[in-house]
Structure 1
Amino acid sequence: MLKYVKPALMTLVILGLLLAFGLLIAQGIAGLRSPEVTEKGFGIGLIVLALVGAWSIWVLVRNGFELQNISARARAEGFELDTSGLERRPSGRIMPESADKLFADVSKEYEANPEDWRVQYRLARAYDHAGDRARGREFMKKAVAGEAAERKASRG
């Protein structure tokens, strides 16, 4: 059941945001039609705000789909990090000592093969478990780009 609730909720939120952006653009156009200079300025601002908002939603959704695809492929190829044996806090988060050991192991894999998107993916996940989300995002971007390049090359 939850498998369908999250995507449905995300779809509703995105549709609501698109409706709001549409209303902002309509108000912006109404402002542009006004003879007042300040209203024209607000109209331009509303249109720009709506376009930036729509762009940011597009980027967020696109990145989410890319992450789902690369995660599924890594799992299918057996490259997902195995965190089942790591010590956890009552909240479910991995204990820092265990995360640091996992990170050290995955770092050695990365040093041996830094160009492989699978290893970059594993390193990004290890950074995330170790609490360094900024570096994790950086390596996940590299992994997504590497996986896309490999997929493109395999198509011909």
Structure 2
Amino acid sequence: MRAFGGAVLMAAVLVLYLVVVVVRAVAFLQSGQPVGIAIGVALLVLPVIGAYLLVRELLFGLQATRLTRRLAAEEPLPGSDAPRRASGRVERTAADAAFPAYAEAAEARPDDWRAWLRLGLAYDDAGDRRRARAAVRRAIALFR
């Protein structure tokens, strides 16, 4: 839940930033100068891109949370019984030791969203965020 609160806070800060950028873009467009108009147009494109990325990331987070809760209701999640550091993260050696089983399960059942979500959680425990996100995205796509 703390992660969701942090995401909402960051989204609010980004929205505030986007509002300021749009106000500045309008001021540049009203300057009448060719360079000012070009800067104003460029500044209007950035908020559109930022809003798209914000919505995309929030939807990813909501979908991942929904699937994780569903899986947690069915079975223990990867790393739930693993030893943890003081920060709450799974100890790296335990995560690395458990990882191959989840990778093999995802390879054996490539159309099973549960296997891909478990793999994504195992990647996250092992500290590989990029692959964790890719595996979770695949789980979300398979769930649909």
TM-score normalised by length of structure 1: 0.77
Taking every aligned residue pair, what percent have the same amino acid on both sides? 30
Preserved CA contact (<8 Å) 1:79 1:122: no
Preserved CA contact (<8 Å) 1:79 1:118: no
- Distance in 1 (CA, whole Å) between partners of 2:132 and 2:3 is 24
Deviation string, structure 1 residues 94-129 (Cα, Å, up to 9, x no partner): 233311221122223223322100000001111111
Say which SS state the counterpart of residue 84 (structure 2) adopts: coil
- Distance in 2 (CA, whole Å) between partners of 1:90 and 1:15 is 30
Runs (4+) of structure 1 exceeding 6 A deviation are none
Tell me what 1:94 maps to: 90
Tell me what 2:67 maps to: 70
* Unaligned runs of at least 5 residues, structure 2: none
Which amino acid in the other structure matches residue 94 of structure 2? S
* Unaligned runs of at least 5 residues, structure 1: 150-156
Match of 1:112 among 97, 108, 133: 108
| Bigger relative contact order (CA 8 A; separation at least 6) | 2
Tell me what 1:43 maps to: 40
Say which SS state the counterpart of residue 32 (structure 2) adopts: coil
Q: How many residues align?
A: 144
Tell me what 1:34 maps to: 31
Matches within 5 A, 1:13-28: 13-28=10-25
- Distance in 2 (CA, whole Å) between partners of 1:116 and 1:128 is 19
Matches within 5 A, 1:75-86: 75-78=72-75, 80-84=77-81, 86=82
Deviation string, structure 1 residues 17-48 (Cα, Å, up to 9, x no partner): 32331232232123222221111111112111
TM-score normalised by length of structure 2: 0.83
Preserved CA contact (<8 Å) 1:127 1:135: yes
